A and B are shown apart, each in its own frame.
Chain A
Amino acid sequence: MLHEITLTVNGEQRTVAVKSHHTLLKVLREQLGITSPKIGCENGECGACTVLMNGKAVNSCLVLAVEADGAVIETVENLSKEGELHPLQQAFVEHNAIQCGFCTPGMIMSAKGLLDRNPHPTVDEVKEALAGNLCRCTGYIRIVDAVMDVAKKGDA
């Protein structure tokens, strides 16, 4: 069965007809062409599909598309403005907090979710916020450093 839903994705209002059992991740990727949220496990375990839903970091593979009706969704595509990287993106670049890049969009969105509600977190708070985002390449150190760097500057 199809349901018509309307959601705001990266500032644009979009109306799409979605199947009952399709996830927000699937609709973002396949119907709206937004591919930064990645399919890593479809089970809420890896965090590669993390987006902000009404300002809160969620695994978009665990959200049914129909639940996102009326919601405001933000993905990493929305962060850089007029060629300027968002401070988190800039910090990831400067700290070499990226290797293969597959976890990076989800990682940045989890970090943004944290900093938006808690601009000056402790290291432990950063780790807690990122605990659901798996990275197999970097060993996480640079990622935590990058987020802490932004938190210290307080310009997120």
Chain B
Amino acid sequence: MAGRVETTEPVGKSVPRIDAYEKVTGAVQYVDDIPFGPNLLYGKFVRSPYAHALIKSINTSKALALPGVKAVVTGKEVPNRIGLYLKDRFVFPLDRVRWIGEPVAGVIAINEEIAEEAAKLVEVEYEELPAVFDPREAIKPDAPLIHPDLGKYEVVPFIFPEPGTNISEHFKLRKGDVDSAWSQCAAIVEDDFFVPQIQHVPIEPHCAVARWDKDGTVTLWAASQSPFAQRDLIAQSLDIPHGNLRVIAPYVGGGFGGKAGVSIEANVVAMSRAVPGYPVKVRMTREEEFLGTNVRQSCAAHYKIGCDKDGNLLAYECQYYFGGGAYNEYGVNITRAAGYSCTGPYDVPNVKGDSYCVYTNTQVGSAMRGFGMPEIHWGLEQMMDRLAEKIGMDKAEFRRRNCVRPGDKILTGMTMPQVDLVKCIDLVTKAINWDKKDKPSAPHKKRGKGIAIMWKAPAMPPNPGSQAIVRFNEDASVNVFVGGQEIGQGTFTVMAQMAAETLGVPYEWVRITANPVDTKYSPYEWQTVASRLTWSMGNAVKAAAEDARQKILQVVAEYWKEDPKDLDIKNGVVVSYKSEREQSLKKMVVYGLPNENYEGWQGGPIVGSGKFMPTYVTGLDPETGQGTRAVVHYTVGAQAVDIEVDTETGQIEVLKIASAYDVGKAINPDLVMTQIEGGAVHGLSAAYEGFYFDERGKLINNSLVDYKIATVMDIPKEIHGDIVETPLEDGPWGARGVGEHVMVQTAPAIANAISDAVGVRINTLPLSAEKVYLAMMKK
């Protein structure tokens, strides 16, 4: 570390990122940067040219005859299914392809060029089947059936597929009596919305290297948010004992959910089995990244919402049809999350919600920042605006009146944990001068303001665990071992702060030993997803540090013949409040302390361990979605935007985004701000993003030329952020996660501002100047 600054009691302070130095100097190795020497082989996928077809035969002889080709691997070598919540896919398909781009076989050669050439020589005979791309079409009784074997798939107990249809999950939420509530409503709005599939576009494409050694041990190096989950799923699918499969995951060059679960990694491991002893690398080109890796699901939503004359929400009915893509092994849980959070952050007495995950012949829908919430908030936050308009109430006030508050029995019957959403609304409306109408910059432009609020729970199984180990070195520096991944969010920094605070040592003394995360040596961590690390891994780190601290105090107390309760560690020194004695941690944390006159020793190398697993989440009734506790907690927030619309072109300029999120406790306030800023721009960018397909289901915009993400030229003039701190009951120092939340409601906030500026409503993403212009023309 540069400089000799020492930061004591670092929780709540904006200390510098622990990974900054290695990242600005180019020292960081991502998967693709790891040297494997001249033995390294390269793999390429043969991809399906059909959206839906039977595989009649695969002939690999021409490919194998090409000099430099080592092997070709197909589905028959890997006959077990794989999946996180629903085992619905083979590593390589056995008899059927389900999207244009699905890997059908893997070719291994001595270099990338030969592998690419050989992939073209693999002859696959297909029998094309009718395909379906839109979830609204795929639920019809006469739609082509994409998974005829759905009823045979292994599935977790809280997911409910409907065999004989394309529905892989149907979540039902029933609260109160919606049907009789409509008659009491003074205003009702009803409409349809659509969100297309989009991609994460991490700047680092997916990359994996696997080596299957002759003794049966297997190593996978992967750009991964989920080394442990990958080990579990791949071990099961490829019949590898868990202890024989080692997943090594260095820093990730952007995840956003795209590197959660399994995408290409099982294929690469399966391929490596054909060439024992050789590492095999498969790296996605940018085109393949769009074509062949996971994407955010599409969502077709229908809403009917009503309130009384004073603006109190009375009834909420919705149907969400998620276009889950070809395989829904992960996506089913996104649909479930959208179901149990279907009202958004509102307290509504009568709710009827149906959330469906639907197979479609498109890219695999999977986790993406926000996990079901951006998809449903797009429509619901516009509908709330329209309802407020209808009864003539201020839109911020309407939200204040109806938003969830601690202690509410929310839609699932769960009691709402501590959050302060009203404060978030107050802060963003103040930051954006909500009540003041600003002048546009030119006569042909119009200004508008919009607000949107959100909630999101970490959507995961009831019991994902975290584990941590704290180990001291001779100079009292500390290595904190964790299995969570640094994907840019700053988790290593936050973990170091928590460990230092608990141990009573300066922040600068702590190193995070998790680059790479290595399932052979690292403590367990379920996945780096769901904004869960600050809370869950943080609790484990805190427990491990507390364990180490107690062990140190025990040793020193015995040495001083004092009660450990009278001792503390301050700035790396054990102090006694009773005798005022002091003992430096240096050396003693490894070598222990001598007895008087060196009559023996006590203590020894200090190591602490800790774990955290939520134990209180309950099941939900499959017919009503009711239960004691659906989720661990919710993070809530508000966003307001100030925009200008060019009435001659439809061009939208976002002038300011103001955000406020209740993070419980900002362990590192500036890192929270970087999530607030980066998330807002991601949300803004995503509002303009969408996949375009031709009539056969082929992705048209499969490059960064045609699929645009925000550049530095597109950012708002000002991004304002406020941090609200209402402590979470079981969060470390009260903290809860905020990584995903900021992009959830940016798109609807902009849509609401467009309506405010020019009086048109856009129900279908992506936004575009053309779409706004045409809507204005139609008005």
Residues from chain B with a CB closer than 8 A to the CB of A101 are 19, 23-24, 28, 251, 253, 488
Q: Are B286 and A136 in contact (CB under 8 A)?
A: no
- 0 or 1 for each of A63-105: is its CB under 8 Å from B? (1 = yes): 0000000000001110110011100010011101011111111
Partner of A142, one of B26, B33, B674: B674
Q: Are A102 and B202 in contact (CB under 8 A)?
A: yes
The answer for the CA separation of A141 and B674 in the assembled complex, in Å, is 9
Decide if A33 is an interface residue (CB 8 Å cutoff). Answer: yes
Majority SS of interface residues in chain B?
A: loop
Shortest Cβ distance from residue A121 to the other chain B in the assembled complex, whole angstroms: 13
Majority SS of interface residues in chain A?
A: loop
How many A residues are at the interface, by size bracket?
A: 35 or more
Give the size of the chain B interface in residues (CB under 8 angstroms).
55
Interface residues of B in 678-725 (CB under 8 A from A): 678-682, 703-705, 709-713, 715, 719
- 0 or 1 for each of B13-30: is its CB under 8 Å from A? (1 = yes): 000110111011111111
Q: Are B286 and A41 in contact (CB under 8 A)?
A: yes
Partner of A136, one of B20, B23, B709: B709
The answer for the CA separation of A94 and B674 in the assembled complex, in Å, is 13
Decide if B354 is an interface residue (CB 8 Å cutoff). Answer: no
Shortest Cβ distance from residue A20 to the other chain B in the assembled complex, whole angstroms: 12
Known contacts: A77-B26, A93-B21. The answer to whether A138 contacts B674 by CB under 8 A is yes
Interface residues of A in 80-134 (CB under 8 A from B): 80, 83-85, 89, 92-94, 96, 98-105, 108, 127-128, 130-134
Shortest Cβ distance from residue B534 to the other chain A in the assembled complex, whole angstroms: 15
Q: Are A89 and B25 in contact (CB under 8 A)?
A: yes
Residues from chain B with a CB closer than 8 A to the CB of A138 are 674, 677-678, 681
Residues from chain A with a CB closer than 8 A to the CB of B704 are 41, 43, 45-46, 134
Q: Are A96 and B17 in contact (CB under 8 A)?
A: yes
The answer for the CA separation of A45 and B286 in the assembled complex, in Å, is 10
Known contacts: A36-B26, A48-B203, A93-B17. The answer to whether A99 contacts B713 by CB under 8 A is no
Residues from chain A with a CB closer than 8 A to the CB of B24 are 76, 80, 85, 89, 92-93, 98, 101, 104, 108
Q: Are A99 and B712 in contact (CB under 8 A)?
A: no
Decide if B285 is an interface residue (CB 8 Å cutoff). Answer: yes
Decide if A42 is an interface residue (CB 8 Å cutoff). Answer: yes
The answer for the CA separation of A108 and B201 in the assembled complex, in Å, is 21
Chain A, Cβ-Cβ closest to B23 = A101
Task: Tally A-B pairs: CB < 8 A.
Answer: 159
Chain A, Cβ-Cβ closest to B673 = A96
Chain A, Cβ-Cβ closest to B711 = A131
Chain A, Cβ-Cβ closest to B204 = A102
Known contacts: A39-B205, A134-B711, A136-B201. The answer to whether A99 contacts B285 by CB under 8 A is no
Residues from chain A with a CB closer than 8 A to the CB of B205 are 39-40
14 CB < 8 A contacts A-B? A29-B33, A46-B286, A77-B26, A77-B27, A93-B16, A93-B20, A93-B24, A101-B488, A134-B201, A137-B488, A139-B710, A140-B711, A140-B715, A143-B712
| Chain A residues near B (Cβ < 8 Å) | 29, 33, 35-36, 38-43, 45-46, 48, 75-77, 79-80, 83-85, 89, 92-94, 96, 98-105, 108, 127-128, 130-144
Taking A76-B25, A76-B26 as given, write out 12 further A-B residue pairs in contact, using a Cβ cutoff of 8 Å, ordered by the A residue number. Answer: A41-B286, A43-B286, A45-B286, A75-B26, A80-B25, A130-B712, A136-B202, A137-B678, A140-B681, A141-B677, A141-B681, A142-B677
| Chain B residues near A (Cβ < 8 Å) | 2, 16-17, 19-21, 23-30, 32-33, 35, 200-205, 251-256, 283, 285-286, 487-490, 670-671, 674, 677-682, 703-705, 709-713, 715, 719
